[in-house]
Amino acid sequence: MTEAATSSPTWATAGADDADDLAGASLALARRFHAGATLWCIAPRWPEQARHVAVEFVHPVIVGSRALPAVHVGGPGLVEALRALVRPGDVLCAVSGADDATVADTFRRAPAWGAMTIWIGAGPRPVAGAADHVLWSDPDTDPALAPYDGSLSLRYHMLWELTHICFDHPGLLTPPEDEVCEGPVCVTCSDEGRLAEVVTATGDLDPEATVRTSTGLERVDTTLVGPLPAGALILVHAGSAITVVGDTP
């Protein structure tokens, strides 16, 4: 017998150390839904988890709760499928371990797609900044068993429950002005190092590339960084690509 099958059941340790994270994620999700977002649910290794998240929102178990747009996207070519589907203002929710490379690759593109990210999982946490909201199981939860012992479903159930409580507070569903635009220089309104994803490959002859940013498509000059393949992530400043982010696809 191996350790996982004989050690004490992990349900006994299921708690909510991430209660404050859940609260923040729920209000942010309610605000996005209020503004017309779709929730895209992914779980490359445990597709049934993402399907459960989607059905939670689309067909609420509590009669009278709003049906909200949530979709499970799975199968091969996940990044390509999401790239075509996700619109600015949408939300991506992943259920996976922090070591899931597909989720990590999807989430690092999310700012260029204008999408908010929620990462639900167990075990070692994702690196700081990997998602806007991280809803993580207690450290003593066995990450290998977390998809089966109810500790992940507890988290997305609570996300649904708390999001619906937020709808009872219409005054809070629109972010206050100072949260939208803060300080003397606003990074949203200025041209300060915005993440962009290259839409079509560029060559030596044409230094202009069409890129996708959180606000839509735009043309940028790529002279500084050279030819770029489609899907590359770059930082854009003042109409120019100033650096390539991470590995090119």
Q: Nearer to other proteins by C-beta: 50 or 86?
A: 50
| 148 touching other proteins, by CB under 8 A | yes
Q: Which two tokens stand for residue 136?
A: 């993580």
Among 118, 147, 220, 225, binds other proteins (CB under 8 A): 147
CB under 8 Å to 234, separation ≥6 — which residues?
195, 196, 197, 198, 211, 220, 222, 225, 228, 241, 242, 243, 244, 245
If you compute the radius of gyration of the chain from its CA atoms, what whole number of angstroms results? Answer: 20
CB of 18 to other proteins, least distance (A): 8
Q: Nearer to other proteins by C-beta: 15 or 246?
A: 15
| 66 touching other proteins, by CB under 8 A | no
CB of 248 to other proteins, least distance (A): 34
Binding mask 172-191 for other proteins (x = CB under 8 A): x---x---------------
- Contact in structure between 16 and 151 (CB atoms under 8 Å): no
CB of 182 to other proteins, least distance (A): 15
- Contact in structure between 116 and 28 (CB atoms under 8 Å): yes
Q: Segment near other proteins (CB under 8 A), from 84-92, 124-132, 156-164, 197-205?
A: 156-164
What would the DSSP string read from start to end of 68-86?
--EEE--SS-HHHHHHHH-
| 34 touching other proteins, by CB under 8 A | no
Q: Segment near other proteins (CB under 8 A), from 3-11, 191-199, 222-230, 239-247?
A: 3-11
CA distances from 167 to 28, 55, 119 (A): 11, 19, 22
Question: Within 10 Å of residue 248's Cβ, how many Cβ atoms?
Answer: 13
Q: Nearer to other proteins by C-beta: 147 or 228?
A: 147
Distance, in Å, from the CA atom of 32 to the CA atom of 12, rounded to the nearest integer, reads 34
Distance, in Å, from the CA atom of 106 to the CA atom of 111, rounded to the nearest integer, reads 10
Among 158, 195, 225, 236, binds other proteins (CB under 8 A): 158
In 53-139, the DSSP E strands lie at 70-72, 91-95, 116-121, 133-136
| 3 touching other proteins, by CB under 8 A | yes
| Residue numbers at the binding site for other proteins (CB under 8 A) | 1-6, 9, 11-16, 18-20, 22-24, 26-27, 46-49, 51-52, 55-56, 59, 61-62, 64-65, 144-145, 147-150, 153-154, 157-158, 160-162, 164-166, 168-172, 176
